[in-house]
């Protein structure tokens, strides 16, 4: 009986660890929704003999991760991830605050993109002012943000329809939430740079490591 309750109490924790240590489809935006879901699943797990363990897990999660729910980088990373958006937030006021935060970031990204585009124009385009042309107005960062949030598509491919949101996603979800993929890379490196191959140049070692880690992309 105790082992069954113990297994039920720690199963959500094990699942969350597997998610955050994954080397595929794991972004910084996965952290807050995973922690929030973990707290909910542990809280809703029916246990009698393992109740102290359940309380210890919840107390530890609050002590370790509560401050992240006030970190704007983590919040924006989660909200701009199509899989989560605002669905992991319960409080309507908090949803409104996160929406306003995302709109502000989208507007700033839109300004940066526009400035870079203007600086990249060549002198050959100076005569464009001569032509009387009617271009359709591009959507603002705020309108793209609202359209993105109301879109039911949860795949990463949907970001291609919202270029400003895609820029926000890249900005906040480039970082990895766990060191596990990096540690796996070091382990692969130690296999390549063995005692019998300790004279490899840096360039050759880098190429061999990239080939080993991306061998699944090579067509057989």
pLDDT band at 187 (very low <50, low <70, confident <90, very high): confident
pTM over the 0.85 mark: no
How far apart (Å, rounded) are the C-alpha atoms in residues 118 and 115?
5
Structure tokens at 116: 């870079």
* Section 19-26 average pLDDT: 78
Question: Can you tell me the distance from the alpha carbon of 196 to that of 147, in angstroms, rounded to the nearest whole number?
Answer: 57
> Pick from 159, 156, 163, 170: which is nearest to 140 by CA?
163
pLDDT tens per residue, range 100-157: 999 999 888 765 554 444 454 444 455 455 555 444 444 566 788 999 999 999 999 9
CA angle 60, 66, 68 (to 5 degrees): 125
């Amino acid at each position: 009986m105790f082992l069954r309750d113990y297994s039920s109490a720690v199963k959500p924790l094990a699942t969350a660890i597997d998610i955050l240590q994954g080397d595929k489809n794991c972004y910084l935006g996965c952290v807050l929704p995973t922690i929030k879901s973990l707290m909910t699943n542990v809280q809703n797990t029916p246990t009698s003999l393992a109740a102290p363990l359940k309380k210890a897990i919840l107390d530890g999660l609050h002590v370790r991760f509560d401050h992240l729910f006030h970190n704007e980088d983590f919040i924006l990373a989660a909200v701009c991830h199509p899989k989560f958006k605002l669905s992991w937030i319960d409080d309507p006021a908090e949803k409104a605050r996160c929406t306003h935060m995302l709109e502000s970031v989208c507007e700033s990204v839109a300004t940066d993109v526009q400035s870079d585009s203007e600086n990249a124009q060549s002198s050959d385009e100076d005569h464009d002012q001569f032509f009387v042309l009617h271009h359709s107005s591009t959507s603002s960062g705020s309108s793209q943000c609202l359209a993105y949030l109301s879109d039911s598509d949860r795949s990463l491919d949907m970001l291609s329809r919202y270029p400003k949101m895609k820029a926000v996603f890249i900005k906040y979800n480039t970082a990895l939430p766990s060191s596990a993929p990096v540690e796996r890379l070091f382990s692969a490196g130690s296999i390549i740079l063995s005692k019998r191959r300790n004279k490899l140049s840096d360039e050759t070692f880098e190429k061999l490591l990239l080939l080993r880690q991306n061998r699944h992309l090579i067509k057989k």
